[in-house]
Structure 1
Amino acid sequence: MENRRVFKNLHNNLLELEEHMYPLADVEKPNVFRNLFPYDEVPKIAFNDRIVPHNFPDEIWITDTTFRDGQQSREPYTTEQIVTIYDYLHKLGGPKGLIRQSEFFLYSKKDRDAVYKCMERGYEFPEVTSWIRASKKDFELVKEIGMKETGILVSCSDYHIFYKMKMTRREAMNHYLSVVRECLETGVAPRCHLEDITRSDIYGFVIPFCLELMKLGDEYGMPVKIRACDTMGYGVNFAGAVIPRSVQGIIYGLITHAGVPSEMLEWHGHNDFYKAVSNSTTAWLYGASAVNCSLFGIGERTGNTPLEAMVFEYAQLKGTLDGMDTTVITELADYFKDEIGYKLPSRTPFVGKNFNVTRAGIHADGLLKNEEIYNIFDTEKFLNRPVLVAVSNTSGLAGIAHWINTYFKLKDEKAVDKNSPVVYRVKEWVDKEYEGGRVTVITDKELIEIIQRACDELEISLW
């Protein structure tokens, strides 16, 4: 007891006793938590009602995996596309660099060309980092390019250690530590990706392993980062849920018992159970400074935590965007659609074609009176996306005029009002559609065609 350090927790002003009492449990048989993860049943969420305190870091930020995990689920980006997206990420992150890093594969020539071109940009943020497997062969690529930091895959569940790697926990730990030590010896900062942490033995393997990683960092005087990877999306943010599924329980254990500082701790989530965003926010709230994301959530299986979602989570938690330029999100969505040919689902928050389009007649009436009634915030200001009202049998002349002005971005003297002859022509066509028995809203494509036809017949131009 005498050798344990007593220190003051600056977040709650209480004295705490440093406890590191978790040796490696080198089991003979894998612990796959069959009671929580019966493969022939839906996974179970169990509770023990052990509550951990909020531990919101002084600083939080976002890291990006669009060019790594995001690229594993789609055709590879071209070098030019990667550089363009990287430029957008730099602009989106703002002057404080709140999109702190972006990670890349190094395996193909195209990947390495993109890395060199992005590094040539000279941006402080996002810092260009890499991802490798825990092998010395992969590490040679990192040294060759001259990376300052690299991610290293260190799978931590017994599913991976016993079934994939065919090792014991002790063998896996020793293997991982040897690769991390090699990183440190050549001056490269390691970022350890603890794959499948939400099916891992947290106190029997993860925390003892991270304690050894922290010791290595102290020995070499270099930071060793920990990325907690919810690879299968099993994490939950419910108070009192048991580990390994409890996000806050994992973060608490890593900080309190493994001694990982908040600024060295990162959460990487997947969306298999629709919890990627809420779990990432929870990781922030309970002590992780970084959350790892992919643009539009594009990633393995159901995808990663959407980067644009965490931009707005940041603003809601901090009360400020801290200089992030959120209009870039719309520019990126347009780039993916127009240049890359990627189709975003129309109802995707913030970027989908219909995310701020009101279709219900009674809602449209409210919007026309005051858009705050049915719009989440000033979408025109933050996303350069004015709120839209879909046209139906309840829209009226004013609703049609509103649709034309917002869709075609007509303002001031170019804007049309409800007395415009074009608006009357469109209204006549809409009325005939519903008189004929139509029950669905008018599509954008139909409206564009009828507006163009009306303009041609009236020999006028709206744009």
Structure 2
Amino acid sequence: MNTQSLPATSLPRKIELMDTTLRDGEQTQGVSFTPMEKVSIAKALLQFLRVDRIEVASARVSEGEKEAVTCINEWAKQEGFADRVEVLGFVDHTSSVDWILSTGGQVINLLAKGSEKHCREQLGKTLEQHSADVLKTINYAHQQGLKINVYLEDWSNGYKDNPAYVYGIMDTLQHSPVRHFMLPDTLGVMSPEEVYASFTDMCQRYPDLSFDFHPHNDYGLATANVMAAVRAGVSAVHCTINCLGERAGNASLAEVAVVLRDKMAMDISIDESHLVRISNLVENFSGKRIADNAPIVGADVFTQTAGIHADGDQKGGLYKTRLGPERFSRTRSYALGKMSGKASLKKNLELLELDLSEEDQKKVLARIVSIGDSKQTITTDDLPFIIADVLESKNYQHIKLQACSINSGLDLESTVSLRVDIKGDKHQITGAGSGGFDAFIDAISKVLGRYDYSLPRLADYEIRIPKGGHASALTECVITWDCGSELRKTRGVHVNQVFAAIFATIKLINLQLHEMELTVSK
């Protein structure tokens, strides 16, 4: 990076990350963490992810909140993290301070009004009156031994509408024992240009003070705004896990950490190897699912889908960047589907330590593309099923299943309607049975009798899905048939287990009809 062309405030330096998942993140619609969930997340954030600070609650909310904050503070004190646990407090002189002290807390984040409009219309007070109230609470907190940070709520609109108000409250508080002045874009209305201009002004006007930026993501600009604020000179940035927060949420901690490290060469404390694990933890506790394409932590962001990309990686890592999965304890994968090419298949075969001939690879790839055309998801775990099915298949086409509809219900007989082509003759038949497969056997047996053929007895019937399989995984059905002098096994693969069994049956019928033809020809 050519740092000579950057302003002095953009040169590499330490940037603190404060995570507010447990406070601001709980303002997400429908999210409420239990005390034990809060404790688990707090431990993960400080001990494993190594964030610099965490904001864990708002004072005076509930007894459950008090229980959670007390537990977090007790653990943090034992582990040496006590001064890194922060609680939002209000301008109420003693009430918030006493509540925080009763939980063993050491830091208050005092919520003051950062806009003249909020001060006048919500509080009904003048700048001088509100500033006096804020100082009164600060002085009490300081006397009680708390460390103090101050939020200027709705600072972004306050600065835009009446900067003189912002300067006025800052002038009053600048010599008080406040460690961080925390400037929020409460409604997520700023652009990067506005962030840079306003923070440059604040940092230059008050050069001896430390400023935090608290962004929201209403315009999808939170991460870009963080970059602008850091260029302007802020010393800390507030984030949440998985963008939790009111409305469109807050800045993503994963995105901010990686962008500051990669794009701005800033010194941050985050241990990237734990980002995905903690993202999953918060996803489970919050009930808010993250998008599969969410940067860094999404399920699909290190998956190459196009065959041409897999080919480029195979030949020279052409589609790999600094943003590699290994940094985050993840692995790159190559999707299998209708866009797969030979390189995609080879990458998955390497992962499974399997080796197929070129001819067999072509057959397997053709089956993968065919399955992908039906919008089925194929995973590496599905691949052995497909390979086994393809490699044991013969190209006998004495019977072709052209259409099949199955109806089943609880405490109702299952029915099936089939359309099949047997040796060039087309048949449409129906059947009934105790289940979908039984109804299929009933229907197909009716027409096979016309060709002097009857299905052998089932000796065994086995259904399998891949280890760790998901609800949409391919299903493998292996049927063992009692053919008199021998037992024969056939296999079918499909996402629906009944159709997997039907394909295994069609395979046996084709084999035996072929053998019957060979016997007649002799």
Q: TM-score normalised by the shorter chain: which range applies?
A: 0.7 to 0.9
Aligned residue number for residue 236 of structure 2: 290
Q: Are 1:416 and 2:370 an aligned pair? A: no
One of 44, 56, 74 as aligned partner of 1:103: 56
Count of residue pairs the alignment pairs up: 385
The alpha carbon displacement at 1:404 in A equals 6.4
Distance verdict in 2 for CA 1:116–1:144, change over 3 Å: closer
Root mean square deviation of aligned Cα: 3.5
Deviation string, structure 1 residues 321-343 (Cα, Å, up to 9, x no partner): 66632120111233244565431
Q: 1:397 to 1:327 in 2, by over 3 A?
A: same
Distance 1:421 1:113 in 2: 65
State whether residues 181 and 212 of structure 2, in contact with CA within 8 Å, keep that contact through their aligned partners in structure 1.
yes
Query: Any residues of structure 2 matched to 1:1-400 within 5 Å, and which?
Result: 54=9, 56=11, 58-73=13-28, 74-94=30-50, 98-106=51-59, 107-121=61-75, 122-125=78-81, 127-136=84-93, 137-201=95-159, 203-217=163-177, 223-238=178-193, 246-261=194-209, 264-316=210-262, 319=265, 324-337=270-283, 341-371=287-317, 373-377=318-322, 379-400=324-345
Letter of the structure 1 residue corresponding to residue 168 of structure 2: P
The 2-side partners of 1:426 and 1:276 are apart by 45
2:49–2:274 CA contact under 8 A, matched in 1: no
Q: How far apart are residue 347 of structure 1 and its match?
A: 0.8
Distance 1:194 1:358, change over 3 A: same
Structure 2 CA distance for aligned equivalents of residues 329 and 422 of structure 1: 40
Say which one has the larger Rg: 2
Cα distance between partner residues in 1 of 2:383 and 2:164: 67
- 1:236 to 1:340, Cα distance in 2 relative to 1, 3 A: closer
Distance 1:253 1:350 in 2: 33
CA distance in 1 between partners of 2:175 and 2:346 (Å): 66
Q: Secondary structure at the match of 2:248?
A: coil
Question: CA offsets per residue over residues 147-194 of structure 1, 9 Å max, x none?
Answer: 221111112113312222222223222222222222222222221111
Q: Structure 1 residues 321, 421: CA separation in 2 closer, same or farther (over 3 Å shift)?
A: farther
TM-score w.r.t. the length of structure 1 is 0.73
- Deviation (angstroms), 1:421: 11
Structure 2 length-normalised TM? 0.65
Which 5+ residue runs of structure 1 have no aligned equivalent? 1-10, 13-50, 218-222, 239-245
Aligned partner of 2:365: which letter? Answer: K
Between the aligned partners of 1:320 and 1:163, the Cα distance in structure 2 is 40
- Higher relative contact order (CA closer than 8 Å, sequence separation 6+): 1
1:430 paired residue among 368, 374, 382: 368
What are the superposed Cα offsets for residues 251-275 of structure 1, whole Å, 9 maximum, x if unpaired? 23333323442xx311100011111
> Contact 2:16–2:269 at 8 Å: present in 1 too?
no
Question: Retained in 1: the 8 A contact 2:241–2:282?
Answer: no
